[in-house]
Amino acid sequence: MDRRTLLRSAGSAAVAGSLGALGAAALATPAHAASATINTDQVMATTNRVTHAPNQRGTIGIELRSGHYNGYQYGWGRLVGSGWDLRGWIWLDISRDGGRTWSFADGTYLSDGTGYAHTSGWLTQSDPNYVFRASYDSNFRAVNPYLQSGIW
């Protein structure tokens, strides 16, 4: 399913429209409010996961993933394959202008003891200018990362 259509739990169509128009900052009824982010444990509990914009360099792969948590769609970055440095980082950047400028959203140190090789999840939006990219490097937030996903 395309991320441009936010799924929701049994809330009203007006609530879904508000979230799409106003983004994650919009507040719905307390029973149906979407959190702007989900943590790495919650990412593992998502359903209907889909891979987007993968990229490969040697045996290391990076990709953007999406899935649903409590009826809302979230996106995150993930490393796959082998050979990546356990002292490295994966991070997620978000653009609100179609990829012209980027803001740091989340980073995961690969040796933090959790065993996760993915970032936290961020609520998707129906706005086509709101896009994600994921990066991997041994230097956190490197200007020219070793590996970067496509844009989704």
28-75 pLDDT per residue, tens? 434 457 899 999 999 999 999 999 999 999 999 999 999 999 999 999
**Cβ-count burial of 54 within 10 angstroms (0-12 exposed, 13-18 middle, 19+ buried)?**
middle
Q: What is the model's pLDDT at position 91?
A: 98
Domains and CATH numbers, the chain: 37-150 (2.60.40)
Q: Which is more confidently placed, 37 or 24?
A: 37
Identify the weakest region by mean pLDDT among 6-20, 34-48, 50-64, 112-126. Answer: 6-20
Token pair for 59: 């045996």
* pLDDT higher than threshold 60 for residue 90: yes
Q: What is the model's pLDDT at position 32?
A: 57
Strand order in the sheet with 60-69: 37-38, 121-123, 72-81, 60-69, 47-57
Query: Residue 140: in which H helix or E strand, if any?
Result: none
pTM, to two decimals: 0.78
Tokens 């900052």 label which residue?
A: 25
Token pair for 57: 């360099």
Token pair for 149: 């996903």
